[in-house]
Amino acid sequence: MLATLIIVFREVLEAGLIIGIVLAATEGVARRGRWIVGGILGGISGAALLAVFAGALANAFSGSGQELFNAAILLIAVLMLGVHITWMASHGRQMAQEMKAMGRAVVQGDRSLTAMALVVTIAVLREGSEVVLFLFGIATSTREGAAPMLLGGAAGLLAGALVSWLLYRGLVAIPMKHLFKVTNAMIALLAAGMAGQAAAILAGANMLPTLGDEVWDTSSILRDNSMVGRALHALVGYSDRPPGIQVAAFVVTLAALIMLSKLVGQGPRIARSEPRSASPAH
Amino acid sequence: MTRGTFFLAAWILAGAAGTAAADVIELSISGHKFTPADVTVPANQKFQIKVTNHDPSPAEFESHDLKVEKIVVPGGTITVTAGPLKPGTYEFFDEYNPDDAKGTVTAKE
């Protein structure tokens, strides 16, 4: 049961950390609870579906189906995080001011919420399909009793959810003046880390050059498979022996997001004249 | 943006040309054990690992050392590319049965 708990917790941790950041980044946005829960439910349904078709996916694209799929959904998540950062750059300051003036008042932000719900769906989908397959394996194996193992799985899931909640509560304890600066930085790092992972996956499937097989080796200091290593992997795409392409994708994505955020932030007049359905509440 | 597009195009073009023939190591999973569990590969060159799962439950072939992670459904076969490796011993395992299903790749010059 304990082994099951640990395995499920490890899988859930990554999605849990991402959900924690998304919750903090959307603090005070109207109807965000509905969107995020919808994102989680969408991810779970997708995970179950993905588990069913895991065999077909593995054989697709001459055996590179899993890699292509994982890279593709990671890149979609990167795009969606980019949408959120752009949205924050044009609305963030106003949002923080309003929230300060009106306590934790709600503001409208449907475009950003759609993007963030999709990020949650992808995070849950990626790790969820592995959990579903794992629990399926337990349910069908007669070696050990399925009931205590499934109980362990549920406990692992709860532990992962708890981490998510703690990260969220920790982040929103940051004064409102600084909260969105912190969450924006975390989201930019998260996106850059995901772009790096996607590049590493594609390089592993021989679809991108590695640009150097091992830029550094920090496996003696912090291993990928330690809990801290895993958490950092989820948050910023940490790898103890990354290929060059992973580092390059990280740097390029981070630079692009910072530039995008600066450009949008500097041109508020242009941003304001854009027609949009999600205008901030007054 | 144009710079980003250029880099992306360069990566894709270089990637298409970057495949080469490599040694294939064949592993099978049965009763939550790898056969063979310990294999040797030449150091400093790429190789492939082909894993077939003969168990009725799914497995996830994973190695932090080799940077691979791939699901193997019951009766399914997957191939991953790893290396080039510096001489040394590298661990792999089935994420779903990490206590029973594990093994090593030793890279020798």
Is A58 within 8 Å of B78 when comparing Cβ atoms? Answer: yes
In a domain, B12, yes or no: no
Nearest CA distance, B21 vs chain A (angstrom): 11
The SS3 assignment for B99 reads coil
Size of interface A-B (CB pairs under 8 A): 89
Residues of B in contact with A204 (CB under 8 A): 67-68, 80-81
- As a whole number, the mean pLDDT across chain A is 86
Residues of chain A with pLDDT > 70: what percent? 86
What tens digit of pLDDT does each residue of A11-39 get?
Answer: 899 999 999 999 999 988 888 999 999 99
Chain B environment of A210 (Cβ under 8 Å): 18
Domain of A51 in residue numbering reads as 2-273
Domain that holds residue B94: 21-108
Is beta strand B59-63 parallel, antiparallel or unpaired with respect to B47-53? Answer: unpaired
Asked if residue A247 is part of any domain, the answer here is yes
Closest partner CB to B73 (pick from A54, A138, A248): A54
Contacts of B79 in chain A (CB under 8 A): 63
A178: CB partners within 8 A, 6+ apart: none
CB contact under 8 A, B71 and A202: no
Q: Is A182 exposed, middle or buried (0-12, 13-18, 19+ CB in 10 A)?
A: middle
- Averaged pLDDT for residues A66-90: 93
- For residue A208, the distance in angstroms to the closest alpha carbon of chain B comes to 4
Which residues in chain B are closer than 8 Å to A208, comparing Cβ atoms?
11-12, 14-15, 18
Q: Give pLDDT, residue A7.
A: 86
Per-residue pLDDT at B6: 58
The reply to whether residue B11 touches residue A245, judged by beta carbons under 8 angstroms, is yes
Instruction: Tell me the pLDDT tens digit for each residue of A134-153.
Output: 888 877 765 666 788 888 88
Q: Which of A47-51, A246-250, A251-255 has the lowest mean pLDDT?
A: A47-51
pLDDT tens-digit readout, B63-105: 988 989 999 999 999 999 998 899 999 999 999 888 899 999 9
Establish if A53 belongs to a structural domain.
yes
Position with higher pLDDT, B104 vs A178: B104
The two structure tokens encoding residue A176 = 């409102």
Q: Are A58 and B71 inside 8 Å of each other by CB?
A: yes
* Chain A nearest C-alpha distance from B36 (Å): 22
Domain of residue B77, CATH code? 2.60.40.420
CA distance A116 to chain B (A): 23
Residue A198 has pLDDT above 80, yes or no: yes
Give this prediction's pTM: 0.84
pLDDT tens, position by position, A260-270: 988 887 754 44
Number of domains in chain B: 1
Give SS3 for B48. Answer: strand
Residue B59 lies in a domain: yes
Q: Is the pLDDT of residue A237 over 90?
A: yes
Q: What total of structural domains would you count in chain A?
A: 1
Residues A52-64: what's their mean pLDDT?
88
A10 assigned to some structural domain: yes
- Whether B5 is in a domain gets the answer no
A65 in a structural domain: yes
